[in-house]
Structure 1
């Protein structure tokens, strides 16, 4: 048909598709050719050459006919008058949806690495969730665009190359499509750093010429070793790619010659059993380097990659060997695309890889739902796109892949969000372990849950997976809203009491007026605002009892305490919206006051604390509080102890605190001389009576000369 590349495309398609499916591909080509008639690329070529090239990339990966049809027509909805309905009636809804999905992805421009990019990445996630083939077509489209960057301006080339390295190459890697990933990385590197790429390419060519004899000798010895043992295997040289060399030089701070002082080979064999036999054979030929063996067959990478990796020392050089079957080779090169290649072969490895990718995409969707905003979402996704995996086991022996640095909490969320939310402890190799300690490959991890447990905000300081971070933030956000609502409701009831009103007596009409006046969505949202300290309960209460709620807020007279006659009861550890001040560390029995802090809810201080006056000076209302009876929580108290220096005195004081049922959190020496020491003790007690008992025990230690509670 006279179109560049068309004959090659049809020849490639005929190698693996039935003739009726080939006919569908031809029909899609004719539709695309006619639709793009008169359109040209920047290079001056007819526009149809681009979709033909994209389809050829997918045909070389042996994708199904619907993907090829979508590739040929991927720009017709966006660039021509053709509509979705027209495509659906002519080629079916599946193909029309694929074309529409790719068109929407094409419209995405990642201009910055901030919010616009993040929102667009969410659109990509939705497209992948509907049909992963949309992303495969998009990757092939991006690859051909990268191959033909030449005619574009430097600015546009730089933007497209940066976007490719930031977004598309990592996605290709996560989907296991190594051939596309490597070429995207090398093309992106060459576009951003043309001189560096040119230098490294020349150096690689020169080095390859110089080392031809050594490479030939090693290959010959490996070949003879396999033949002597009757092991089937095809030996191929493995080249290091430009971007890979450059990144290693940068990250490992090594010279080009240090990076290249390794000879890499791949051995392709027939069965998994042969892989391990060949491993034994090469280890007998050259000495393996300790710690450099990796078994990705028993424990595949997160993207489905399987292979044996070993590094040998022979002929005064290091030799890297990868050993895998032909099927593993296909998965390594084409990743999820192998699913269509082997669809009829009922391959367990391919099915497992497809399931793995499907699980990843579903995980993305879950993160998307939980994320507070698009920036938070893309932060989580980038963590998952750049993993350095470790492999750990469940108690039943199931392998879980996690990023390096992952903790038992990450493991819990990887199993299920509900397991993560209810996690209280863990066993690592049958021994109790820390929830925050990074896991190592090979460990067996068991999560202990409790029905009343809930995530701690401190977990965000050590979890590393996107799923764990989004799960914790989602839970805390909802918990924060619920607690803010309950606190706001308690505060508004208390304010209404000073007007001799009950909340149940306020009509829905009046509530709605106040809601509209304060410009919030609904009354529950208004209560949340009060609970968070963003609005004053007294002002809202006054608006609720006014028949005309339009009372200007500046006319309301604020006092130190909006209702001194009534108090709120504090039960102990109140949650996220009620916090105890670190300055005065109040404990049950102390007279206390609550200060509303915008966005943080209520902070509880001792009523004699100097910080209370500062808050009131800033117009923050205070609330009189009382302690509930029978509080069982522990509270932190700081003590200042003056004592004579004696050997073993710290141990004696610790013993005295233990006898009084106190818990020591921290001991430090404030100052000391030859005869006297002053120490600071941070201890946990249940209230003032318990504190008095502890202080009495400490005072009874003979060396102690003075003890005081530190209030600020």
Structure 2
């Protein structure tokens, strides 16, 4: 069990005396605050913050991080508040403690929702000071080490959360040592029997492979010595969880995974890394396609190394990583290595790792602002904690890192949100390509934009990055609200017209009361509800009509009023019924459907018949004169079967300026066949022209609109 004296002794390696005194003062403050509290294991509670601070001390974190670690539970678990911590230890320490704490005890429907909300708050705090996440990860590490005192059900829940959120965050920040330990501890808690068998098999394999490993290690070390290259060669152990994941995802046996021997060579400079690579390629033959240069193009978390695979003697596959001492430190500690470069001069790898981490946290913050709720946000973050990256180029040669399976849409949003929102097509290596095509390493991607373009709802089916998904959702949500408010305003104006009033004349007292009853904040929120069909426009109009307004006009009077004009560009809140497919020129009627907005039918449609005379459900409509959109219509043709029939039908339709979407041939009856065609036209006049041309064809006996 760690003690404050042992920790103080260790801190003399890199902190000055005054800073160590501050850390000790924070410890005694926490000890007093947690007095009488015990952990599930029975130990005094203060042993937990002391252990968390010890973990951070191993990473050589600064004294403020260590003080925050000592105090990280006082706001949540004792009567001390933010002001109390701030007055004693300063705002910086209090802010880190506040970021790690759960901030507020809110009532949630589910535990998952509460955890998601806490994580969301932590991201906000991380954006202010990235040390928040380091303290949180150290806190989670000690909790995982002492998980045995918890009930099995709670152990599994905490282990699942660690594997889903905290281990991937540690990986994303480049903190491999911490990530590996978190994963192994969580794996043992979630699948104790599987972990036990794999550990036993690893120990057994280690004994059998000892001679082979030392033989390969000696031959590489000897060759480096001959070439006069400095480098320390070590065998690299695979950890339990990575073995389990590979067995599961690659469907390989334990023996197949352990047949690959892994080594790491740590040297002095980047130049020597590449010279050592040439030396090992001379010693053993390289495996084609297995070389990766993460020094020239670092991973998203700042990781740098050369990776190569070699064919050794006796058909053994050897994996080799080659890196400098500085890169090795950053690979183990990630952004925690930032504290070293602050104290001891610039380290390029550590600065790069830290800057990438800051950029990632800023990206999280942007997603958090767009997310509808904390659960949506945490799902977005989980998809963004990707294990593999592809590296693609902009036309100007800038490198972008994207997750495996990313598409040009993901690339567009990675460049800038506005580029993604106005994207219409793309070129991959100068050739036009679909927006859904997964990108591959080394491709050059060019995004083509248009001023009036906007995101498509279908994009959500194939984008993989959190930023793209949250940006598309945010845009569509805002667009839908804007369109719903506009339609709601038009519908309410229409029904207020029955009382001889307009929106500006509505009774303000009645509006205030209605908003309070409906738990809405403003008139726009009410209009959005009306536009989406969640509230009946005639009911709202009756509630809000001026007190001196006349009674509602009769049905005949309503029919004489000017109907609502349909532009065809109302967007997501206006649907055209698929049963009758109305087009400009048809007489139309609108049915207000809950959650969908206004659904337009032809007045002679059988599906709307029983609602036609109900003023509460339907509204009279007309087409605006300047409607220029294209509308889908279905035609049914009775034809004489002959060679080249479909080609002649398609040519005839195209000659009228219409566009065929679908053509379907039904069953034949002798020489007669039925053909159904879906095509787009601008109005009834255009449709009449298409039908007239089709009737001229000798093989067509009958044309009718479905």
TM over 0.5: yes
In 1, the alpha carbon distance for the partners of 2:201 and 2:358 equals 41
In 1, the alpha carbon distance for the partners of 2:56 and 2:375 equals 32
Q: Residue 516 and residue 453 in structure 1: after superposition, are their counterparts in 2 closer, same or farther (change >3 A)?
A: same
Within a 5 Å distance, the mapping from 1:530-679 to structure 2 comes to 530-545=530-545, 547=547, 563=559, 565-613=561-609, 621-672=617-668, 675-679=671-675
- State the match for 1:59 in structure 2: 57
Within a 5 Å distance, the mapping from 1:185-584 to structure 2 comes to 185-315=183-313, 316-343=315-342, 344-516=344-516, 520-545=520-545, 547=547, 563=559, 565-584=561-580
Q: Note the C-alpha offset of 1:426.
A: 2.1
- State the match for 1:127 in structure 2: 125
In the alignment, structure 1 residue 702 sits paired with structure 2 residue 676: no
SS at match of 1:702: coil
In 1, the alpha carbon distance for the partners of 2:108 and 2:250 equals 30
In 2, the alpha carbon distance for the partners of 1:403 and 1:629 equals 48
Between 100-109 and 307-316, report the one with greater CA deviation: 100-109
Between 57-66 and 71-80, report the one with greater CA deviation: 71-80
Q: Residue 323 and residue 593 in structure 1: after superposition, are their counterparts in 2 closer, same or farther (change >3 A)?
A: same
In 1, the alpha carbon distance for the partners of 2:135 and 2:295 equals 29
Q: Note the C-alpha offset of 1:676.
A: 3.7
Within a 5 Å distance, the mapping from 1:48-197 to structure 2 comes to 48-80=46-78, 82-104=80-102, 114-197=112-195
Q: Note the C-alpha offset of 1:652.
A: 2.1
- Deviation string 1:442-496 (CA, Å, 9 cap, x unpaired) is 2222222233222222222222222112111112112111111111111122222
Q: Note the C-alpha offset of 1:639.
A: 2.0
Q: Does structure 2 conserve the Cα–Cα contact (< 8 Å) formed by 1:560 and 1:616?
A: no
Q: Note the C-alpha offset of 1:680.
A: 2.3
Between 61-70 and 692-701, report the one with greater CA deviation: 692-701
In the alignment, structure 1 residue 688 sits paired with structure 2 residue 679: no
Q: Residue 223 and residue 406 in structure 1: after superposition, are their counterparts in 2 closer, same or farther (change >3 A)?
A: same
Q: Residue 78 and residue 509 in structure 1: after superposition, are their counterparts in 2 closer, same or farther (change >3 A)?
A: closer
Q: Does structure 1 conserve the Cα–Cα contact (< 8 Å) formed by 2:76 and 2:103?
A: no
- Deviation string 1:95-146 (CA, Å, 9 cap, x unpaired) is 2222333333798999967422322221221222222212211211211121
Q: Does structure 1 conserve the Cα–Cα contact (< 8 Å) formed by 2:589 and 2:618?
A: yes
Q: Residue 504 and residue 20 in structure 1: after superposition, are their counterparts in 2 closer, same or farther (change >3 A)?
A: closer
Q: Residue 506 and residue 206 in structure 1: after superposition, are their counterparts in 2 closer, same or farther (change >3 A)?
A: closer
In 2, the alpha carbon distance for the partners of 1:147 and 1:427 equals 50
In 2, the alpha carbon distance for the partners of 1:199 and 1:535 equals 61
Q: Residue 281 and residue 654 in structure 1: after superposition, are their counterparts in 2 closer, same or farther (change >3 A)?
A: farther
Q: Does structure 2 conserve the Cα–Cα contact (< 8 Å) formed by 1:641 and 1:680?
A: yes
In 2, the alpha carbon distance for the partners of 1:265 and 1:42 equals 41
In 2, the alpha carbon distance for the partners of 1:558 and 1:579 equals 28
Q: Does structure 2 conserve the Cα–Cα contact (< 8 Å) formed by 1:413 and 1:467?
A: yes
Q: Does structure 2 conserve the Cα–Cα contact (< 8 Å) formed by 1:559 and 1:621?
A: no
In 2, the alpha carbon distance for the partners of 1:217 and 1:583 equals 76
Q: Does structure 2 conserve the Cα–Cα contact (< 8 Å) formed by 1:499 and 1:545?
A: yes
Q: Residue 82 and residue 491 in structure 1: after superposition, are their counterparts in 2 closer, same or farther (change >3 A)?
A: closer
In 1, the alpha carbon distance for the partners of 2:497 and 2:41 equals 78
In 1, the alpha carbon distance for the partners of 2:120 and 2:626 equals 50
Q: Does structure 2 conserve the Cα–Cα contact (< 8 Å) formed by 1:562 and 1:621?
A: no
* Structure 2 alignment gaps of length 5 or more: none
In 1, the alpha carbon distance for the partners of 2:561 and 2:198 equals 80
Q: What is the aligned residue count? A: 703
In 2, the alpha carbon distance for the partners of 1:189 and 1:328 equals 28
SS at match of 1:207: helix
SS at match of 2:436: coil
Q: Does structure 1 conserve the Cα–Cα contact (< 8 Å) formed by 2:4 and 2:24?
A: no
Q: Does structure 2 conserve the Cα–Cα contact (< 8 Å) formed by 1:560 and 1:621?
A: no
SS at match of 2:600: strand
SS at match of 1:670: strand
In 2, the alpha carbon distance for the partners of 1:440 and 1:482 equals 38
Q: Note the C-alpha offset of 1:396.
A: 1.9
Q: Does structure 2 conserve the Cα–Cα contact (< 8 Å) formed by 1:268 and 1:329?
A: yes
In 1, the alpha carbon distance for the partners of 2:556 and 2:393 equals 58
- Deviation string 1:424-453 (CA, Å, 9 cap, x unpaired) is 222222233222222222222222223322
